[in-house]
């Protein structure tokens, strides 16, 4: 945000005034960010953005160059694998499966899971 403040030609004193904090507080905040790499709270980010005539926006971007759709698929496969392990353990131990899914649905779900995990 420091680069944006400078680009807009807003002094540190003006920035502090617009954020509703003391100049010394702004300097402390700025110093902690620049020298210690501290993280700001969202409320502080919103105040600073508003002071510069902007809106703070948080964007979640999946890691490793994946799309969000791919990330959703990976998470679904992970949960499915965990559920299959749980179901298989219940079957081995002779316990009830808790009636989560009727047998035909469970069989179809497990067959789909096996197809998905077999591709790896």
Which structural domain, as residue segments, surrounds residue 81?
68-118
pTM of the model: 0.53
Alpha carbon 118 to its chain centroid, in Å, reads 29
Question: Are 41 and 76 in a shared domain?
Answer: no
Q: Does residue 74 share a domain with residue 47?
A: no
Question: Does the residue 61 lie in any domain?
Answer: no
pLDDT, tens digit, 9 for 90 and up, residues 64-109: 888 989 988 999 999 999 888 888 888 777 766 555 555 666 777 7
Same domain? For 43 and 16 the reply is: yes
Cβ neighbours of residue 50 under 8 Å, at least 6 residues apart? 18, 19
Q: How many domains does the chain have?
A: 2
């Amino acid at each position: 945000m420091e680069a944006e403040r400078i680009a807009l030609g807003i002094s540190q004193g003006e920035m502090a005034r617009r954020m509703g904090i003391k100049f010394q507080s702004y300097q402390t905040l700025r110093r902690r960010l620049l020298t210690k790499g501290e993280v700001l709270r969202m409320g502080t980010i919103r105040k600073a953005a508003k002071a510069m005539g902007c809106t703070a926006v948080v964007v979640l971007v999946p890691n490793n160059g994946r799309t969000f759709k791919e990330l959703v698929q990976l998470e679904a496969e992970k949960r499915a694998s965990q559920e299959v392990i749980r179901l298989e353990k219940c079957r081995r131990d002779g316990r009830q499966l808790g009636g989560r899914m009727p047998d035909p649905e469970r069989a179809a779900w497990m067959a789909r899971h096996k197809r998905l995990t077999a591709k790896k």
